[in-house]
Amino acid sequence: MRPLGFSGFRPAVLLVALVLVAGTIGYMVVEGWSAWDALYMTVTTVTTVGFREVHPLSWRGQAFTVVLIIGGVSTVLYTLSLLAAGLVEGRVGRRFEQRRREHMIDALTNHFILCGAGRIGLIIADEFRRQQVPFVVIDRDPDAVQEVIARGDLAVEADASREDILQRLGIDRARGLIAALGTDAENVYAILTARGLRGDLFIVARADSDDAGRKLLRAGADRFISPYQIGATQMAQTALRPAVVDFVQLATSSENLELAMEQVKIAPESALGGRSIVEANLRQQFGVIVVGIQRCDGRMEFNPEPDTIMHAGDHLIVIGRSGQLKDLEIAAQ
């Protein structure tokens, strides 16, 4: 439901102005009145105020007044009804959109709570949207929240360090939380609150420095990312190994439909657990390449040998086409 804008009222406003001009000219021609007297008579007539005539009317003036009442009053009432409808629809429309967003937030599951709608937050939101990952943004800046909503995403104007707000955003059923607020202090408070509500929640935080990153880890973050360090490292790698950087970007970009790099967790009941890579026949059966295995204790094994045993809880880092990766994810469940 969209409220009427000024363009919706313009024809009616122009019609009212035309009635006033026509009435003024009409009284000047029919009765010979001055422009002011004619305009005054026209306004009191079309607004149904009911004052007496400015001057006594002739029979022709009376006939013209009847026509003016029928046409002018109808036009004014129509314009007022449009104005009232626009005001009501505007309030109702905004309330309807708010309720719709609240219902969509209530229906979220396995989603990310993105704290911060700044430059970093908007980039993260764009990436989530491209990969069709459900998420909701929270920020205290009303302009930033409106920008997120204008992009078609879910957003809430609130303090990310409040327990009731995080509970309202479904932290109990969320996949993870990203603390990308403007300052390290804000991120610390948001992480402390989130960790207090859910001890097993995966939390990634933005840090301006390594020292701030260590504090974020102590506050409860699982990972911290320094945009400045990542950006500088990326620039150096691009200068030294441009082909390698191009390949990694190609493998990890959500815009690439042919090739993707993904992590696949081996569930306890999966048939892949306890088998080697060659025994599971991953390359021939699924067409994927295993480039690494992250063990349950966090150790990373790069370019594992074919006889490497996969265990339940391990994460396989694989490269393949999207359809092949989906088949592997199903087999790993």
> Is residue 304 included in any domain, yes or no?
yes
285 and 208 in a common domain: no
* DSSP E strand boundaries for the chain: 112-115, 135-139, 154-157, 176-179, 202-206, 223-225, 260-265, 275-276, 289-294, 300-302, 309-310, 315-320
Distance, in Å, from the CA atom of 306 to the CA atom of 173, rounded to the nearest integer, reads 37
> Is residue 146 included in any domain, yes or no?
yes
> CB of 333 within 8 A of CB of 270?
yes
Specify the pLDDT at position 50: 66
Distance, in Å, from the CA atom of 133 to the CA atom of 254, rounded to the nearest integer, reads 11
> Is residue 243 included in any domain, yes or no?
no
> Is residue 284 included in any domain, yes or no?
yes
> Is residue 26 included in any domain, yes or no?
yes
Specify the pLDDT at position 231: 86
Range of the domain at 192: 108-231
Q: Which of 88, 104, 120 is the last residue of a domain?
A: 104
74 and 114 in a common domain: no
Q: Which of 212, 231, 250 is the last residue of a domain?
A: 231
224 and 114 in a common domain: yes
52 and 98 in a common domain: yes
Mean pLDDT in runs of 10 for the chain (333 residues)? 50 79 88 88 80 80 83 78 67 69 91 94 91 93 92 93 94 95 93 95 91 91 90 89 82 64 88 89 88 88 91 90 86 87
Specify the pLDDT at position 165: 94
Q: Which of 83, 104, 125 is the last residue of a domain?
A: 104
Specify the pLDDT at position 258: 66
215 and 115 in a common domain: yes
CATH, residue 67: 1.10.287.70
> CB of 184 within 8 A of CB of 164?
no
Q: How many domains does the chain have?
A: 3
CATH, residue 324: 3.30.70.1450
Q: Which of 257, 270, 272, 261 lies closest to 317, judged by CA? A: 261
> CB of 56 within 8 A of CB of 7?
no
